[in-house]
Structure formats: structure tokens, C-alpha cells
């Protein structure tokens, strides 16, 4: 696999709650590659949490920061990168990922995603009177984008090892 990758990174994309961070961490361990979480990098660069960036500067400013952070973390590879759920919607970021990485969509049903994210209040995009409906609407808009990933893997409940092995098989 490391030969197939060369200096390209494995880039996990997909909706909030699809398991990008937890699966990414396991995958990185399994392959002996560094793991980078884009959300963490954005927070470090901004010196505040994502919720604070949204509240103080608004979503467009967050997206701009996200685009710049994605460009930076894609420069050096190979790595395993967990992206924020909206990163792959940006055309420039998608082009960079195509050049510098292999994209993997962790696909999950709306019911599964909702179950996983409902208890977490830190996601600014789901701060709405009807967050479940917001999730479904966002998901419908985003599916066609995520579907452009090089590889699609179903994100099931249970041990992350399953998804990790599926990703490795798909890329090899």
C-alpha cells in the first residue's frame, strides 16, 4: 500500500459523524503513518474552537481558513488526513486532494449519522430548531460531492477495524 501511495496521503471525507477522526486514527496506526485532523489544525491556527470561529467570524471565514489549512496539510505526505465534513465541497480543495491524495468517502445512512451526532452540541451547522431535518437537507446537498471520492467505504457501527481493512483493500 505504501508503494501505491508514494507521497500521497489518504484523505477521509464524509458527513459529520461518519467516523473520519476515529477511523483515521486507527488507519494511521495500522499503516504507521502520521495522523492529521483538519479540524484540530484549523482550531490551532485560529487559536479558538470551530464553534467560536463560526460565532465570531461566520462560516465564510471558517471555510477560507479550512481551505488554507487543507492546502498546507496536503503538502507533505504520506499521511492519513481526517477532513471536516464540508472540506470536500470546496473545488480548490478537491483538486488539491486529487493531486496529493487518495480520497475515501465514509458513507453512512442519515439515521446512523443522526444517532451519532445528536448528543454533540459543538457542531455549529446543526444548531437549528430542527437539527435532524437540517442534517438530512445538508446530506442531500452533499451526497453528490462526496460521491466523487476515489473510494467509498460504508461506515458501520462497531469496531473501526472493519472500515480500516476495507479502506486498505480498496486502495491496494
16 part of the interface to ligand S3P, by CB under 6 A? yes
**How many Å apart are CA 65 and CA 7, to the nearest integer?**
24
**How many Å apart are CA 49 and CA 40, to the nearest integer?**
9
Smallest separation (angstroms) from ligand S3P to the CB of 29: 19
Segment interacting with ligand S3P (CB under 6 A) among 22-30, 69-77, 123-131, 162-170: 123-131
107 is in an annotated binding site: no
**How many Å apart are CA 51 and CA 63, to the nearest integer?**
13
Smallest separation (angstroms) from ligand S3P to the CB of 6: 26
**How many Å apart are CA 113 and CA 124, to the nearest integer?**
16
Using CB under 6 A, pick the residue from 85, 106, 108, 155 that binds ligand S3P: 85
Q: Write out the binding residues for ligand S3P, residues 21-40 only, by CB under 6 A.
A: 39
Of the two residues 125 and 171, which places its CB atom closer to ligand S3P in the complex? 125
**Cβ–Cβ under 8 Å, residues 122 and 51:** yes
Backbone angles phi, psi at 92, to 5 degrees: -65, -45
123 part of the interface to ligand S3P, by CB under 6 A? yes
**How many Å apart are CA 114 and CA 162, to the nearest integer?**
21
142 is in an annotated binding site: yes
Interacting residues toward ligand S3P by CB under 6 A: 16, 20, 39, 50, 84-86, 123-125
Amino acid at each position: 500500500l505504501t508503494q501505491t501511495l508514494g507521497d500521497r496521503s489518504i484523505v477521509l471525507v464524509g458527513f459529520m459523524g461518519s467516523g473520519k477522526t476515529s477511523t483515521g486514527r486507527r488507519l494511521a496506526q495500522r499503516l504507521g503513518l502520521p495522523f492529521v485532523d483538519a479540524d484540530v489544525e484549523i482550531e490551532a491556527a485560529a487559536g479558538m474552537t470551530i464553534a467560536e470561529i463560526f460565532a465570531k467570524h461566520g462560516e465564510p471565514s471558517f471555510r477560507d481558513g479550512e481551505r488554507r489549512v487543507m492546502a498546507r496539510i496536503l503538502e507533505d505526505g504520506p499521511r492519513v488526513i481526517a477532513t471536516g465534513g464540508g472540506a470536500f465541497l470546496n473545488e480548490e480543495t478537491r483538486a488539491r486532494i486529487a493531486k496529493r491524495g487518495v480520497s475515501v468517502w465514509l458513507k453512512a445512512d442519515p439515521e446512523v449519522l443522526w444517532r451519532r451526532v445528536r448528543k454533540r452540541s459543538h457542531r455549529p451547522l446543526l444548531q437549528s430548531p430542527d437539527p435532524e431535518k437540517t442534517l438530512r437537507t445538508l446530506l442531500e446537498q452533499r451526497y453528490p460531492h462526496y460521491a466523487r471520492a476515489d473510494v467509498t467505504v460504508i461506515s458501520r457501527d462497531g469496531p473501526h477495524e472493519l472500515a480500516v481493512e476495507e479502506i486498505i483493500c480498496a486502495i491496494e
